[in-house]
Amino acid sequence: MLQPLLPTLAQGCILQILAFMDGAHGDKKMQAIFSILVSALSTGVASAGISYDYDADPVMRRNNPKFYGYLPDNGVKRTIMYITMVCNSALLLLMRSFSTALLFLIDPRAPAIYACGDLAIYFLYKLLRRDFWHWIPVTGVTGVIVAIVERTIVKIVADFTGCLQLRGPGEIGGIYFSINIVFAIVTAMLSVPVYFKLVPASEQLVTPSQCWRIILPLSGAFVLTCLIFFSIMKKKYRSTFTSTMTGKQWVTGYFLVADDDIPKYLVIFCNPNMWLEIQPKVIDWIQEGWHRWREEQPEWFTDNWKRRVPVDWVPEEGKQEVVELRKRTGGGTGAGGSGKGDRLGIRESLRKRGRGVKITAAGSERDSEMSRLASERDDGLEGILAKAADGGGGKYRSTRVGERILRGSAGAGGRAKIRPTMLLGIARDAVWRKVEDDGGEGGGAEGGEESDEDAY
């Protein structure tokens, strides 16, 4: 979730370094240094937090034991490793930002030219290895756009933060990630002599000694923290930093290497372009196991998973169930689909995070209410809110965000001008919730417990 924010934090650090080099003196100099360090450490904490949380997650370790589990079991060692991960990201960001700032001072276009060249090499590498598709389950032209955007963002984040989660074969890949880290140190060293060679002495903002007093300690500290990290991590996971496995090999490996159903089910959530070669085996596995799964009800055999399986792949005994699930959840896109209106996936995710919210109105009733409200866009504000309060035979309330948007669109005292897309967006994203009275009547599972179908 934090990945899209990291490039912004990196950009802020570059601008702060440029401002520092452009004449900070006295108290302002100390303030500038403090600001730069805070930005770097903030990025380091975010980057380390992403990697640490993924690796410590029992579900991730169970599903992908060859990649997750490098954190030591000892609590003290884990703490030391987390500190080294924060320092690694912060130091790498400082090195990259400083070398980028020097490039900018040579020519404002230089960082963009360098970044485009670096990305071109990266995409060429992915194409040559037939590893262009990203694992996000989107295909067609949209899938191409998503792959380009995602891989660009991931590459920039990895370049500036060294987020360990991104070394996975589904993202950058172990060997390319490690090469990136080494290349960061090399470019930081080379940026200093290049700057003083190409920039006239009268325009130079820093001296060679000042640059080396910054680059050398940063590089030395970065190498030291890397050595500490590798000495503490579990040895069998060191190979993940030199792995040449592609995203396709990673996804198909879930299915082909697994001895049980737990890793295999994850294939359905990945881009189908990455596992076309094993599609017949996936179909056979689904048809052979469906009856057994209906009886045993494994934890992964959820409505969210079922609706992603193409109906043609499901045995006759389960086809009607899948069709009904798709109707109830606003349709589906089959294997690897993006799943518009996938409320079941949201419910399941929030339930796992311990943030259950009781919802006792049927999905079809909510969809009908949403469509009816959108079609009556010319009604006044009070009429719309009244319909939301009385609809469905229960007591509904909209989220506060939705009410603020509606009231803002009505102006100082006029009628609400509601576009269908606005109203549908409010209804679908904010969700109309049916709230039971304390000790109230009907709805929901017996004894006030949430039902599996209606809770998220």
Tell me: the pLDDT tens digits for 222-244? 999 999 999 999 999 999 999 99
Q: Among 179, 206, 241, which residue terminates a domain?
A: 241
In a domain, 246, yes or no: no
Closest alpha carbon to 361 in 443, 447, 304 = 443
Residue type at 84?
T
Confirm whether 247 is domain-assigned: no
Are 122 and 269 in a shared domain?
A: no
- The residue written with tokens 């360098």 in the block is 114
Query: Could you tell me if residue 393 is left (phi over 0), alpha (psi between -120 and 50 degrees) or otherwise beta?
Result: left
Residue 327 and residue 393 in one domain: no
Instruction: Give the pLDDT confidence score for residue 239 in this predicted structure.
Output: 94
Question: Looking at the structure, do residues 220 and 330 belong to the same domain, yes or no?
Answer: no
Of 187, 211, 241, the position where a domain reaches its end is 241
Under DSSP, the state recorded for 177 is: H
Amino acid at 374: A
With a cut of 70, which residues of the chain have pLDDT below it? 1-12, 22-28, 330-456
Amino acid at 196: F
Q: Which amino acid is at 58?
A: P
- What pLDDT does residue 327 have? 83
Angle in degrees, 0-180, between the axes of helices 140-161 and 110-128, rounded to the nearest 10: 120
Asked whether the CA dihedral 361, 367, 368, 373 is positive or negative, the reply is positive
pLDDT value of residue 347: 43
Q: How many domains does the chain have?
A: 3
> What pTM, to 2 d.p., does this model score?
0.67
Same domain, 132 and 36: yes
pLDDT of residue 206: 84
Confidence (pLDDT) at 14: 76
330 plus 436 within the same structural domain: no
| 201 and 235 share one domain | yes
Give the domain range for residue 416: 363-448
- Three-class DSSP category at 229: helix
The label of the residue with tokens 């943030």 reads 355
Residue 110 and residue 128: Cα distance in Å, rounded? 27
Tokens of 321: 């169930």
DSSP-derived letter for residue 430 is I
Residues 325 and 375 in one domain: no
Q: What is the H or E stretch that residue 128 is in?
A: helix 110-128
Residue-wise pLDDT tens digits, 24-36 = 555 667 777 888 8
Residues 50 and 195 occupy one common structural domain: yes
